Structures are given as C-alpha cells and as structure tokens.
Amino acid sequence: MKRTPFRIAAIYWHTTSVGGINTELQYYRHAALQEGDVFDVIRSTNGPECKVELYPKTRRMKGGDTFIDIQGQAGHHPSRVEATLKFLRENYDALFFVSLVPHPNKNYGFEPNFLPIFTQKMPKAASISDGYWHTYAEWGRLAAPHVKVLYTGCNAYGIPLRNEGFPCQTRPRPFYPLSVPTASRSKTLLTIWPSQWKQIKGCLDFLKVLPQIPGQVELYSVGIEYFKQRETELWKRAVGPDHFHPEFSGRGKAEFFGWQDLMKMPDTYARAWFSVNLQGITAKPAKQSLFGNSVSDHRSIYASGSYNNTESEALYYGACPILHEQVLKSDLPKDCLLTVKSAEELPALIGSKTAQKFACDRERVSKARAWVEKYQDPIRLYREMKETLLK
C-alpha cells in the first residue's frame, strides 16, 4: 500500500539576508523529499500584492542581499490572510517557521498581521537561528505559545527565551550533502572566508589582517559590510579581483567571489586548508544580573557558544575551521578545529607548519565528517520534527 506523504509548508518571512535561512530550508527540503514527503518553502509577506500561488517549478528570488529557492507564496495582509489560511489547511498537514516571526519595521509595518497563521489549528514547529530576540521579542511572545516545538540551532540562541520562560529545544540544524566534491585540496595553502559579511562575524577584523595571511585567500558570500567596505582603503588593501562586482576590485591578494549556489560550495571547502569565521569576536562576555542570569542581549549571546552552517560544511567537506574561541562553549568537536582570541593571531597560525599539518591530517578530516554525519543527520532530524508535529 502506497504511503500518503506528509505535507509541510515552510513559511519564510521577508528578511534582509536569507543566507543561513535558505541553507536550513534546503537541507530540510532534501531530507523530506528523500522520505517521500512534501516540503514547500512558501514566501509570506504583509503586502496586498502577495497572493496565494504555488509555482509549477521552484523559483530562485532575492532574499535581501542573497537568494532563496521557494515553491510558492501566500500573503498575510488582511486582504489576503483568509485565502492563505484556506490554502494552508487544504494543501498541508503542518507548518514550519524557519524564523519565528517577521520583524516590526517601517517596511513590514507595526501590526502583527501574521498572527492568524499561528492561531489557526494546524500543528506548527519553529526555529530561532540568531541571537537577536530583543529585536522581535514583542511579536515572538505572541507566536511562541502556538507552536508545538521551538528549536534553537545552538544553546546560546535559547538564552533569552528561557530567561522569559519559553520552553525551547536546543537541537542541531540538519546538514544535507547536496553534491559530491569533484575538487581535492589545493596543493598550495588556501584559506577561505565563507560567512556573511556582518560585523558580528568579525569580518572587519579579518580584513585588517588579511594582507599578512600567507598563501591564497578566497572570499565568499555577501552582507551589509561588503556594500559598506568595498570602496574603502581597508578593502582595497585586502582584496584584489572582485568577481562579484569587478568595478570594486582592489590591489590586495584576496579574490572575492560573493554569493555562490549551495551546490557549488562543496568544491570550495574541499580545496581549502582553512575556513575562517570569527563570529563572537566583537561580542561582549555575558554579564550577570543580581539573580545570576545572563543578560539576554545579542552581544552576550554571540559570546556564549554560537556557530553557523558554514562550520558544519567546512567540517564535512574537509576544510579546517578557524573560529573565535567563544565557539569552545558550543557542541562543535573541539579536536577538529582551531580557535583564536583575536584576528591578529591568524597570520601566524595559518602560516604554522603545525596548523597546516593538522588541517590536512586525514584522521582529523575523517573524524570531523563522521561528527557531522551523526550529529546533524538530516533524516533523523527531519523525522524527529515530523514525529513531533504528528503527535
């Protein structure tokens, strides 16, 4: 007897950068499809022009400064919301919110028009994938009671929710190997920066020391700091060819490639010796209140053991992550990566024969991949979410 597929609508709210959001959604979608289920990414905005529509094939659209692949749209403007609720009930068995709620701002508006999607009787799961709860907490408090389970990608992101009494489950994001690399490790020393260009990632600290980093350096992804820095002297000293926007090429050693399709990145990680992300380097250590609880602001959260999809990808495909030492508070495998206290340590570390030997060590590479395969197994994580939604 043929099994009836379970149908999930993954609701995507507009945001200024969908980098990690798109990655998580694509990994979940591939796992669901492998299980024979439906997992459609549905764009939902507060604009009256966002009608209910399923596309005949997947569309790639701009999501802020990067791109996202979606299967349809269903708006929640008051003039559209009833049609959207009917569409969701008739076509799906459950909802997943890759980020809990939209953010109140001048583009969205300041009324929570999305709320009927939460209050209708459908099983729901949601995730918190950043440390900026304070920027959308007012609306988050309205939505959180209506979801069966609220996931946080690492323990640090759950700090402010737990401080407010909201139960949340720390669970790794799924990792799905989208392609098999055709490249092998570069014969010459190669360091990559695969993360978004945001201050919280430490990208400005990285740019300052980049000219002193030995070997080749390749830069990927985009973000607000790319657009701010690409005409500055700091950028021109660090970056040479800008393949994303050639008019912003500088005289530095690094090559800038900008946003790349997820399917192309495995080859990049496979070629790289080191993959750098300094998230938390600009953050402040968690302070203590009179009651002994961490202060729940993003500056302390990002100093409390946070990490990204780029770390999992580097570990799986063979590059050695070099991260800020705050990551030692996370669940990443400490014996498969390197850490620094400051960006100034990078040139000497990357130039070290000991670090280079560690990066290329087959045992490290094998252990790192095995950790990702087990800890971030996409089929297991998808099944766990599905089971929760079916209860």
The model's pLDDT over 159-197, given as tens digits with 9 standing for 90+, comes to 889 888 999 999 999 999 999 999 999 999 999 999 999
The residues spanned by each domain of the chain are 7-174+377-390, 190-374
* Cα separation, 8 vs 114, whole angstroms: 18
CB atoms within 10 A of CB 389: 20
Q: Homologous superfamily of 7-174+377-390 in CATH?
A: Glycogen Phosphorylase B; (3.40.50.2000)
* Token pair in block for residue 64: 């802020």
Token pair of 289 as six digits: 């209140």
Q: What is the pLDDT of residues 51-77, one digit of tens each?
A: 999 999 999 998 878 899 999 999 999
User: Has residue 124 got a pLDDT over 70?
Assistant: yes
pLDDT band at 287 (very low <50, low <70, confident <90, very high): low
Helix (H) or strand (E) holding 380: helix 378-390
Say what the pLDDT of residue 212 is.
Answer: 98
Mean pLDDT computed over every residue of the chain: 93
Closest-CA residue to 249 (of 224, 222, 231, 223): 231
Q: At what angle do helices 353-360 and 362-375 cross, to 10 degrees?
A: 50
Question: CA-to-CA distance for 73 and 51, rounded, in angstroms?
Answer: 7
Residue 141 · residue 124 · CB < 8 Å: no
Give the CA-trace dihedral at 236, 238, 242, 247, to 10 degrees: 0
The yes/no answer on whether domain 190-374 falls in CATH 3.40.50.2000 is yes
Terminal alpha carbon distance of the chain = 23
Tell me if 7-174+377-390 shares its fold with 190-374: yes
Among 327, 344, 349, residue whose Cα is nearest residue 207: 344
Please tell me what DSSP assigns to residue 5: P
